Amino acid sequence: MTGIEINSSAIAERFMRYVQIDTQSDPKSDTHPSTEKQKNLSLLLAKELKEMGIKDAEMDEFGYVYATIPSNSEKKNIPIICFCSHVDTAPDCSGTDVKPILHKNYDGEDITLPDDTSQVLSPVVHPYLRNHIGDDIITASGKTLLGADDKSGVAAIMQAADFMMKNRSLKHGDIKILFTPDEEVGHGTAKLDMQKLGASFGYTLDGGEAGSLEDETFSADSATIIIHGVSTHPGYALNKLVNALKVAAEILHTLPTNEWAPEATEKKEGFVHPVRLEGIAEKATIEFIVRDFDTDKLKKYEERLKSIAEDAVSHYLGASMEFIVTEQYRNMKQVLDNYPQVAANAAIAINLAGLDVKTESIRGGTDGSKLSYMGLPCPNIFTGMQGIHSKLEWIGVKDMTKSAETIVHLSMIWEEKS
């Protein structure tokens, strides 16, 4: 028996309040935050943290919330750890007028969402629903996403903070709380003040199934191929014109389809993926993303891609190409391997919350990968969110509660081990 029990109706109520605040971010905006409305939630969070007695809680001009739960331990050498979630929701699906619905004591049947009856949440498609039979789950109403990504993380951190402030006999060091805007549009760390944050290690609360702990992400580059053709008047082009669009088409046609592509890979396999093609007869550009867990493999993939492209270009006398590689982000595991206690302590905390640990690799990036390379080694912990970025997004209240309990345990473990 662990003694840490978070009130599940309180966290459900808190979560349902937060998701009703529209915080959708905007990839086309160049302001920070990308949408002013994200500050509506951030301001509320800063206010609620203050009401808990966390004196330094504040939101800055860019919409970041910083707060410190002060140490209550006599030990002076406890590493300062940070718990982080993002307040924004994905641009892929409306976040306006979210109406969360609490389904008490879920019976295992299909759930038809009332505001759009074509939206049916079924355990056949979402088998993880079966883990929640007899428990409470929360969905949206059919017209919007729910926003469990990542307001479940926000709610878990807030509920854990409230618990720690009310139970001062539970020993911990300085605990930093960080809420960021714009994670969904790739700018979650753009205006983050690491100095001000002042933490040594961090955890994002932005993961799925209960017990999951993600300490590995892709390493990522982009590659751009620019093809130069030879342009002439098409009426007098015999043996002169070289059409860059046709060269581009040949390059794309030559790419393998049964391997080395997102639609043909899973688990630890990497890929090369064309994401954009544009051009005219004279000049065409193809943009690719290049992904693998092993950073060294990116270079091999880029060389292979380049040689496929050069071969295609060589079939067209007079055509030429440029090949440009840009680094995007790197696998956080390369950093985390130097600080094995960060993931190890999280695994202990998950166990203490009564769950088995599922160590997973993210086939993508997280703010944690950026934070890890900014000097804050930062794996990702579950909140329970499911069906994210869609109208069928849902979450089990039990999972969110366990996520908050994991945060409290983790805070105490760092104190105990110091």
3-state secondary structure of 258: coil
Question: Could you give the count of Cα atoms lying within 13 Å of 63 in the half-sphere of its Cβ?
Answer: 26
* Min separation Cβ 85 and Zn ion, Å: 8
Smallest gap from residue 383 Cβ to Zn ion (A)? 9
| Comparison of 173 and 387: residue with beta carbon closer to Zn ion | 387
Q: And the tokens for 205? A: 């609360």
H-assigned helices in 236-294:
244-254
* Beta carbon nearer to Zn ion, 58 or 209: 209
Can you tell me whether residue 327 is helix, strand or coil? strand
Closer to Zn ion by Cβ: residue 89 or 243 = 89
> In terms of CB distance, is 149 or 405 closer to Zn ion?
149
Shortest spacing between CB 126 and Zn ion, in angstroms? 18
Tokens of 370: 């950026």
Question: Considering the complex, what minimum distance in angstroms separates the CB of residue 369 from Zn ion?
Answer: 13
Choose among 330, 335, 273, 332: nearest CA to 301.
Answer: 273
Give the angle subtended at the CA of 87 by the CAs of 121 and 215, to the nearest 5°. 80
Q: Which residues are catalytic?
A: 88, 183
Identity of the residue, 173 or 207, whose beta carbon is nearer to Zn ion in the bound complex: 207
Could you list the residues that contact Zn ion (CB under 5 A)?
149-150, 206
To Zn ion, the closest distance from the beta carbon of 150 in angstroms equals: 4
DSSP, collapsed to helix, strand or coil, labels residue 372 as helix
CA distances from 60 to 9, 68, 401, 417 (A): 31, 15, 29, 33
User: DSSP letter string over 95-117?
Assistant: -TT---EEETT--SS-EE-TT-T
